[in-house]
Amino acid sequence: MKELRVSIIGRVNVGKSTLFNRLTRTRDAIVENTPGVTRDRKEGRLTISNRRIVLVDTGGIDAEVAADSKPADEAQKQSLREIDNADVLLFLVDGRSGLLPGDLEIADKLRRTGRLVLLVVNKMESEYAGSENHEFFRLGLGDPIPISSEHNVNIDTLIRALAELMNIRDLEPDAETAVDDSEICIAVVGRPNVGKSSFLNSLIGEDRHIVTDVPGTTRDSVDSIIRVNEQTYRLIDTAGLRRIGKTTRKLDKISAIMSRRSIQRSHVTLLLLDAAEGVTAQDLKIASYIIDEGKACIIIGNKWDLTDRTTERFKILQQEIRDHYVSMPWAPFMVMSALESHNTLKVFSLIDRIMKSTEQPVATAKLNKVLHDAQIIHPPPRRDSRHPLKFYYCAQIANRPPTFLLFTNTRTEIHFSYRRFLSNQIRDAFGFEGWPIRLVFRHRHDDRGRRWD
């Protein structure tokens, strides 16, 4: 059975993202009292009468706002395109502002589509709200439903009306739309304007994500689902992460937080940089976020079409990556051109290889032999003049990221150079391509250990 798609449509700043968060019971959509915050279409899930529904948040439809900037114009085009994709439209209007000419224009568009439409009047917190929305009958879309998405007023009434409209009250759960536990979640991160949205559009094969030459076009983290070779991937487009000194507006700070959350919920993070510009300080800062979260990473040089594409240029860029990303020697590197769709699909085979590298648990006996041999090759530094540092036993305690518990005879911090040596010995023996290795050290008489990456 086809998954039902319900889209929230309306002018800018009528509360579409707040309603989206309320219905999906998340904070996935950015909410800010600024017109035109939402640009890309954002999808979420909710369940009504055991039926899973795709809920879509859209950018505001407003000719004046769209004329102000290219990103706003593209956002409006995305919203109008979504009207044709939806099974049901939630037409949201602002009860405080009253009926405006823009509402009449949108209502006219919706009537011509022939779609099922629910007229919803938001920002109606008053207990007498039902008697204040009579002017919206002029839209010709049936009885308006007064709600307040911010204060959770009448949301249950809206859900019941939605269930009745779609006639899904007694339907059985849709097995085909269940969440795929085997899907691989991929976050695409990088500085503003390195081509993240263009890359995802190239993978998906449609203009799903807004692309302009204006840095910071993407604000929300937007999910897309793609299936390649029987494997499902969840692709997350994120807002460009700026330097802290340049992140001054509240909206930019919220976008940065959402991007960090996307890294947290991913399995693999694709770090995009500009192949023509090379590595910047901000690229390195973003890499530190990925390491902190313990996520697998692939470093991708996008905009390869802006270089001379020679083998010599690739070697220079690759060496620059290795020289700067000294804390990520385990991260594979590749180049591509999202604009020309060159090399973009090769990323999936690399992702599959990275995920498979952690599927098989490490044999404890073999792991301890590696630890024993490592101490012979390079004896540990002494704790003090009389007591040498010793490692007694090692065991793997997590797969993603690969995490190992080592029992020692010290409670003091072990020098980073020796920690790195041990990590390299484990990697040489077992692989773990694309993953950071975490080491947890515990005194043999302690219950808890200290972790160093």
CA distance 82 to 397: 46
Higher pLDDT, 152 or 73: 152
In the predicted structure, residue 208 carries a pLDDT above the cut 60: no
CA distance 419 to 436: 13
Nearest to 89 by CA among 26, 167, 5: 5
Whole-Å CA distances, 152 to 43, 60, 108, 327: 21, 22, 29, 47
Higher pLDDT, 289 or 178: 289
Pick the CATH number of 4-177 from 3.90.1150.10, 2.70.180.20, 3.40.50.300, 3.40.640.10: 3.40.50.300
Whole-Å CA distances, 349 to 213, 231, 233, 328, 353: 30, 11, 12, 20, 6
In the predicted structure, residue 83 carries a pLDDT above the cut 60: yes
Higher pLDDT, 313 or 177: 313
The token pair at 288 is: 């530190």
In the predicted structure, residue 312 carries a pLDDT above the cut 70: yes
Characterise 52 by phi-psi region: left (phi > 0), alpha (psi -120 to 50), beta (else): beta
CA distance 36 to 62: 9
CA distance 306 to 326: 26
CA distance 193 to 212: 9
Q: Are 21 and 28 in contact (CB under 8 A)?
A: yes
Fold of 364-452: GMP Synthetase; Chain A, domain 3 (3.30.300)
Higher pLDDT, 25 or 300: 300
| 364-452 matches 184-356 in CATH topology | no
In the predicted structure, residue 222 carries a pLDDT above the cut 90: no
Sorted by where each begins, the domain ranges of the chain are 4-177, 184-356, 364-452
DSSP 210-238: ---SSTT---S-EEEEEEETTEEEEEEE-
Q: What is the pLDDT of residue 58?
A: 86
The token pair at 268 is: 């693999």
Q: What is the pLDDT of residue 336?
A: 95
* 42-48/51-57 β-pairing: antiparallel
Long-range Cβ contacts of 318-325 (<8 Å, 24+ apart): 320/278, 320/279, 321/279, 324/279, 324/283, 324/284, 325/279, 325/284, 325/287, 325/299
The token pair at 387 is: 């007591």
> How many other C-beta atoms are found inside a 10 Å radius of the C-beta of residue 107?
21
Percent of residues, the chain, with pLDDT higher than 70 = 79
Whole-Å CA distances, 287 to 86, 192, 199, 330, 451: 38, 15, 19, 12, 19
Q: 432 falls in which pLDDT band (50, 70, 90)?
A: very high
Top-ranked range on mean pLDDT: pick from 147-151, 191-195, 434-438: 434-438
Q: What is the pLDDT of residue 407?
A: 93
Taking all residues of the chain, what is their mean pLDDT, rounded to a whole number?
Answer: 82
| Residue 115 parent element (H or E) | none
Q: 335 falls in which pLDDT band (50, 70, 90)?
A: very high
Chain segment 32-43, per-residue pLDDT in tens: 555 555 556 778
Chain segment 239-283, per-residue pLDDT in tens: 767 665 555 555 556 767 778 888 998 999 999 999 999 898 888
Q: What is the pLDDT of residue 172?
A: 39
Contacts of 335 (CB under 8 A, 6+ apart): 275, 300, 301, 302, 304, 314, 317, 343
Q: What is the pLDDT of residue 71?
A: 62
Fold of 184-356: Rossmann fold (3.40.50)
Q: Are 396 and 364 in contact (CB under 8 A)?
A: yes
Q: What is the pLDDT of residue 39?
A: 57
Q: What is the pLDDT of residue 251?
A: 56
